[in-house]
Amino acid sequence: MEKKVSVTSPSMPPFDEFVEEIRDLWHSRWLTHNGPKHNLLMERLQSYLNVQNVCLFANGHLALEMAFEALGLTGEVITTPFTFASTTHAIVRRGLVPRFCDIDPYTFNMDPDKIEALITEKTTAIVPVHVYGTPCDVQRIGEIAERYGLKVIYDAAHAFGVSINGKGIGSFGDMTMFSFHATKVFHTVEGGALSYSNAALTPRLAQLKQFGLVGTEDAVAVGTNAKMTEINAAMGLCNLNHIDEQIEKRHIIAKRYMEHLKGLEGIRILHPNENVRHNWAYFPVIFENYRKDRKMIIEQLNVNGIFPRKYFYPLTSDFVCYNEFFDKTDTPIARYAADRVLALPMYADLSIEDVDKICSIIIE
C-alpha cells in the first residue's frame, strides 16, 4: 500500500496565505499575550459562532479546566463516559467527582431522562458533550439545571460551526468549550476557546490563563499558563477564511458515505435533526448484528491502508487511571455504543474514490 488513509487529516490553508498572515510578526515581535491576531480571531469567532463572548486558550482541555474554575464548581459533576479523555480528566484534575450519566441510544449524547437520578446535594454542574457535533438536548438539560440550580458547561470540541434553529451551539448553558486541535473541523494547530454570555466572567478568565496575575506585580489567583499565541491565532485566521468551504466538502463526503451505507442491514448511521446546521466532523457507523463484526472490518480496512478509529472506545470510566473509582455497570447504553461504533475516515480533503473504496470493503 503506497498511500495511507487515516481517520482524520488536518485542513491546511494555502501556504502563501499563512506566510502573509505571519509576516508582520517579524517586525512587531508581538508573539503572544493578547496580540492583535489573537484579538482579531476572538472577534471573528464571536461573529462566526454567533455567541456573545469568546475567550481563547492554548488548547481545549485547559479551556475546560478554566471554565470549571471560573464558575467555582465543587463536589460532584454529572457527565458522560462516552467522550474523549479530556472531558473526564478536566473534571478530576479540578478535584471534582464525575458522576457518569448514560447516553441516548440514538444521538449518543447524555440522556436527559437519566440526569435527575444522579443529582445529590453535592452536585454543582452538568458537563454534557455534543458528541460527533450532534447537539445535546439543550432545552431539557437547561430546564433540569435551572430547577436544581446547577451550572451547565458544554464540551463542544466536536461542534464547531453547529447551530440549532440558527442559534450558535456555543450560546447554550453557562459556558461552552471548543477545541481547535489540528484534527478538529476548525483548528489553530493547538488551541481552544470558551464561549459564554455572562461578560462578568471575562476578567476572571483572563487572569486564570495568565498565572492569575493582575498588572505586573501581584497574583490574585493560582492561575496557569493557557494563552493562545499569535502564530496559532494566525493559523486560525487563515483557516476561518475557508471554513464554510471545508464544511461543505465534508458534507459531500458524508452524503457519499450515506449513499453507499444507508439501508444496509446491521449498519446504523447517526442522523442530525432537520433544524441543525451540522458540521460533519465525524462519520461514525454502528455495527449492530452486521454480517461481519467490527474487529474484522477494521482488519480488512487496515490491510488496505485505511485506518478508522473506535471513537469512543473505551469509555473514559474504563481507563486504568480510574480503575478503582467507578461502577462499570452504570452506563449500559454507553458501553453498547463503545463496543459497536467505528469512526470512518472523514476530513475535507478525503477523496470520493477513497470513500467508495472504504465502503466497498465494508460491504464486500
Ligand X SMILES: *Cc1c(COP(=O)(O)O)cnc(C)c1O
Binding site for ligand X (CB under 6 A): 59-61, 83-84, 86-87, 129, 155, 157-158, 179, 181, 192
Give me the residues paired with residue 181 across strands: none
> Of 267 and 315, which has the nearer Cβ to ligand X?
315
Give least dist CB 155 to ligand X, A: 5
**Half-sphere exposure at residue 284, Cβ-oriented, CA atoms within 13 angstroms:** 23
Instruction: State the minimum distance, in angstroms, from the CB of residue 158 to ligand X.
Output: 6
312 cis-preceded (ω within 30 degrees of 0): yes
Pick 193 or 286: Cβ nearer ligand X: 193
Which residue lies nearer to ligand X by CB, 60 or 112?
A: 60
* Closest CB 59 distance from ligand X, rounded Å: 4
Which of residues 290 and 312 has its CB atom nearest to ligand X in the complex?
Answer: 312
Annotate 57-81 with DSSP letters as a single string.
ES-HHHHHHHHHHHTT--SEEEE-S
Least gap, CB of 91 to ligand X (angstroms) = 11
Cα-atom radius of gyration of the chain, to the nearest Å? Answer: 21
Nearest CB to ligand X, comparing residues 71 and 177: 177
Distance CA 334, CA 164 (A): 24
Of 255, 268, 296, nearest in space to 105 by CA: 268
Position of minimal CB gap to ligand X: 60
- CB 71, min distance to ligand X, A: 17
Q: Say if strands 163-164 and 276-277 run parallel, antiparallel, or are unpaired.
A: antiparallel
Distance from chain centroid for Cα 278: 13
How far apart, in whole angstroms, are the C-alpha atoms of residue 221 and residue 119? 30
Using the minimum distance from each CB to ligand X, give the nearer residue, 178 or 287. Answer: 178
CA dist., res. 233 & res. 5, Å (int)? 28
Q: Quote the CA–CA distance of 66 and 94 in Å, as a whole number.
A: 9
CB of 180 to ligand X, least distance (A): 6
